[in-house]
Structure 1
Amino acid sequence: MEHLPRLLICDDDRQMTESIKLVLETSGYQIQTTNNARHALTLIHADLPDLVILDVKMPEMSGFEVLDSVDRERCDAAFIMVTGEASVDSAIKAIRKGASDYLRKPFEPDELIIRVEKALKQRQMQRDNICFEIEKRKLQNQLRHSQKMEAIGTLAGGIAHDFNNVLSIILGNTELALADIPTGQAPRANLERILTASLRAREMIQQLLSFSRKEESGRKPIQLNHVITESLKLMRASLPTNISIEKDICDTPCTILADATQIHQVMLNLCTNAAHAMEPDGGTLSVQLEPVTLDSQSTNEFNCLKPGHYARLVVADTGHGIDKSIIERIFDPYFTTKETGKGTGMGLSVVHGIIKSNGGTIRAFSRPGRFTEFHLHLPITELPMANEPTIFDQQLPGGHEHIMVVDDEEMLVDIMRQVLEQLGYMVTAHTSSQAALTDFRACPDRFDLLITDMTMPGITGIGLVNAVKAPAPTCPSSSAPATMNRSMKRTHLRWGFKPWS
């Protein structure tokens, strides 16, 4: 229903008040009147009219005094001052004090209507401009935040890649050392602890890299059990130690059609909010995942859900809770109760959008001072998951071919050389792509395979491959991410190159 403008008329002359009311009522306005200036000020703050027609000279308070006393943060009404004086100074004073117009008695009914319409239009334009500026500032802040997160992601990705090189050296040398130490000896137990810790670090780095990637992998069948477990491993490293994590992840596979990166984002936002709610004393973060079947009766309490099989995810905390008066607004964009620097008001809005776009629902339940729970339902799909990479558990066959290995990290080159030589291959190793190209061109027929890093100073891996293939197109070539992205095993030696590829 269209909002009818609400007008307040205040004049100590009752006859004038009624005549103005009679004229404006014919134009469809909602009219309220008073003959007391102090009462008018009370009505302005209580009812927030759209326009006030105010007499200048009145007992107790003048129209100008009323205008000065209006709280502009609470009321943005337009004001038309009316008077029997023909003073230019009085008109200028009214405009300077914030009045929209100044009208001298007596006036024609048509003139009054025109002045009222003009004042209301000016007020609406001012409102639109304010809304535009507010929205503009919000979008600018959102853009700055997005650029900041993109920069952090790029930085995190670069650090993770460099750390992976260091981690690969630790893993490689540890496993090579384990291959030479018989079972039961004390040094072997120490090396196995190093290996276990390094493998955990590798998993964390892989998760960090998944957040730093700019490209979305797109929706595909994923096992929600694994994604939730991986997210909690990452959150454990970032949450305060006074927050314990209790998880109850079912063994039954819950396969959903979604983007794994977006599900990670959902968990990150929900767990971070839970951590903030439990500050400063800490508490318990509980995560539960189970498959459920909803029939037609069960779906009545959900919006837009059809009967079928769903994965139910519950994220709960023992924090301060959410007040009943605002719990319905927590998914609104920019709505936040956190102090400056703790939140943008976009976290739960993003979560809501991701869940809705994947055909699910999210609801919040809370008891202030005790707990908050978020219940998410995501439809389970029957589509098959992509085949996992084959793990070579059997002993790898060796060979006698000649392999060229190129990587600008000297210790990585040395580890690759040792592994390949143990398998019987002849290896020529280089830490300079330019030196490798010169060596290859000197005698291209003696090399059977090229393994090269992708990113190197001088000539990149792709550039080296293209240069090598030009004079010798029959030479099989590959890059490290393609050839070494697997777990290599021989009896008791387990090895993996560049796990981030």
Structure 2
Amino acid sequence: MARILVVDDIEQNLYMLRVLLEAHGCSVEDARHGGEALEKARRSAPDLIISDLLMPVMDGYTLLGHWKADEQLKRIPFVVYTATYTDPQDEKHALELGADAFIIKPMDPVLFMARIREVLASRGTAPHAPAGEEKERLRDYSEVLIRMLEKKMRQLEQTNRALEAHIAERQQLEEQLRQSQKMEAIGQLAGGIAHDFNNILAAISGNTELALEDTASDHPAREFLEEIRNSSARAKRLVQQILAFSRRQPLDRRVISLEPIIEESTDLLRASLPASVGLDMEVDAGVPPVLADATQMHQVLVNLCTNAWHALEGQSGRIVVRLKSVALTADSVKPLVGLRPGNFVYLSVSDTGIGMDAATRARIFEPFFTTKEPGKGTGLGLSVVHGIVQGHDGAIVVRSQPGEGTVFEIYFPAATAIEETAAAPAPALRGQGQHILFLDDEAPLVTLAQRLLERRGYRFSGFTRASEALRAFAEKPDEFQLVITDLSMPGASGLHFASDILKLRPDVPVVLCSGHVTEELQEHARRAGIREVLYKPNTVDEFGETIHRLASETRRS
């Protein structure tokens, strides 16, 4: 049975060699470096030594030199087994020092054992360098060490670069997580603002509508009431924009003209731009409509124009919004990913700002990518624009050069016809005495609803507490043709209240009102059996039409 000394500083390597050698009938002893190996071999000489080269304390080359200089050990075969020193010069140097074999890790176990048996059979016949060649041997050894040091330095540099890239990527991911959490917090805040602000708006706009109904067309106050109504509508749209920014507003795509949206957006933006920045719009005649969500189109324009303003970096300049119709051919549509030849509406926003280089253009639509200083931009504005454009089956491209300004070009598929608007408002729909239960924790809104519904021929029971409303319904469930409830109330949820109502009478229509309507809320409402979800504040006509339709259906059934 051959006694073999294995030298390696890596435990896994020692274990694998031990298992392999013992499986072939060898006795194995191990050491972690050259110094330990010499000590063990001098106490009890092995039949063969297998040694790694790169080890602490004493490396394999130094061990080999001491081994072949030792009268007791020099006849014992020495096998070099390395994964680091793999250059032909390394093998040459090891053999010149007296190594009996030079094996590169890993080697097939069958071939490895065959080589070991071959070396054992030779019993240390490898020549040893004469003493006169010691200087040459040391010179060769130095060259090997220098070459390995240079190799390790290159590996270290590569490792450092990889580590730096990993750290940069991790920091970017952490920043993205912080931005995502910030946006989630903004979304939650927006929902709270929407609920409180919309309750106020509902009271203002609703009472204004009622006042207009009671005011003659030539009354001096009518002009002021109409201005209040228009201002309330703008405030409502502002809240919707906040919700759209936080991506908590369901899409409402309709066939619309973009020209009024451009006019409204540019009017809004001019109020916030300094006098040194010009904002103009150039709209061709006869531009077709598009199938789009008006709120998101407004957001696209605000984001692009704001980005253009920031590109001016405090200098005077000009921003131009253009709208025209274009026909894209098979050739002209090629650069526009996802589009096919046809008729399109072209919307562009250009500026005379600092422009962008190719590297920036390549990343401009990436989420969280920004060229602004920390704290001065989220890096979400253009990625949101890109997402909206894609969601509307369109395409967006950017053209820019450093010092030459920037142009964002958007292509939306042209729609075939625009939704018609009534030439005159339809007469108010009237009820026929149907009894409506109304629940809202805001007393002014209960009062407003009572005035509106009783004026339109309905009977009305209003409540500010869910427990009182549920008790009244439970006493006479067949008395009511319709139930209307707010969503968010202190200590109560409109969804839970609706569920309790429908347990008492499954066929009664229930309407849920909220200033923060999301697709998730609409899905919950559908599962709860709620017939309709209304956005608050809505116009008197929208509210009245829904009430008339649902109450009439109950009466017919």
SS class of match (2:436): strand
The percent identity for this pair of structures is: 35
- Consecutive unaligned residues of structure 1, counting only runs of 5 or more, are 1-23, 28-103
SS class of match (1:298): coil
- Consecutive unaligned residues of structure 2, counting only runs of 5 or more, are 1-85, 90-137, 515-531, 548-557
Question: Are positions 1:206 and 2:240 aligned together?
Answer: yes
Displacement after TM superposition at 1:139 (Å): 1.0
Question: Are positions 1:276 and 2:276 aligned together?
Answer: no
Q: Which residue of 2 aligns with 1:118?
A: 152
Q: Distance between the aligned counterparts of 1:109 and 1:228, measured in 2? A: 76
Contact 1:254 1:291 in 2 (8 A): no
In structure 2, do the counterparts of structure 1 residues 471 and 360 end up closer, same or farther at CA, with 3 Å as the change threshold? Answer: closer
For residue 512 of structure 2, the aligned residue among 479, 495, 498 is: 479
In structure 2, do the counterparts of structure 1 residues 458 and 124 end up closer, same or farther at CA, with 3 Å as the change threshold? Answer: same
SS class of match (2:487): coil
Q: Which residue of 2 aligns with 1:285?
A: 319
TM-score by length of 1: 0.65
SS class of match (2:181): helix
TM-score by length of 2: 0.59
Q: Distance between the aligned counterparts of 2:415 and 2:280, measured in 1? A: 27
Question: Are positions 1:428 and 2:449 aligned together?
Answer: no
Q: Which residue of 1 aligns with 2:178?
A: 144
For residue 437 of structure 2, the aligned residue among 372, 387, 404 is: 404
In structure 2, do the counterparts of structure 1 residues 399 and 192 end up closer, same or farther at CA, with 3 Å as the change threshold? Answer: same
Structure 2 counterparts to residues 95-494 of structure 1, below 5 A:
107=141, 110-214=144-248, 217=251, 223=256, 225=258, 229=262, 232=265, 236=269, 239-242=272-275, 243-249=277-283, 251-255=286-290, 266-281=300-315, 283-299=317-333, 306-318=340-352, 320-322=353-355, 328-329=361-362, 331=364, 333=366, 336-343=370-377, 347-348=381-382, 351=385, 358=393, 360-366=395-401, 368=403, 371-380=405-414, 393-480=426-513, 482=532, 487-489=539-541
The CA RMSD over aligned residues, in Å, is 4.2
Q: Distance between the aligned counterparts of 1:344 and 1:154, measured in 2? A: 17
Displacement after TM superposition at 1:346 (Å): 5.9
Choose 397-406 or 440-449, whichever is displaced more: 440-449
SS class of match (1:186): coil
SS class of match (1:394): coil
SS class of match (1:470): helix
Q: Distance between the aligned counterparts of 1:108 and 1:387, measured in 2? A: 90
In structure 2, do the counterparts of structure 1 residues 470 and 139 end up closer, same or farther at CA, with 3 Å as the change threshold? Answer: same
In structure 2, do the counterparts of structure 1 residues 213 and 345 end up closer, same or farther at CA, with 3 Å as the change threshold? Answer: closer
Which of the two has greater helix per residue?
2
Q: Distance between the aligned counterparts of 2:219 and 2:414, measured in 1? A: 49
Displacement after TM superposition at 1:373 (Å): 2.0
Q: Distance between the aligned counterparts of 1:137 and 1:310, measured in 2? A: 41
SS class of match (1:107): helix
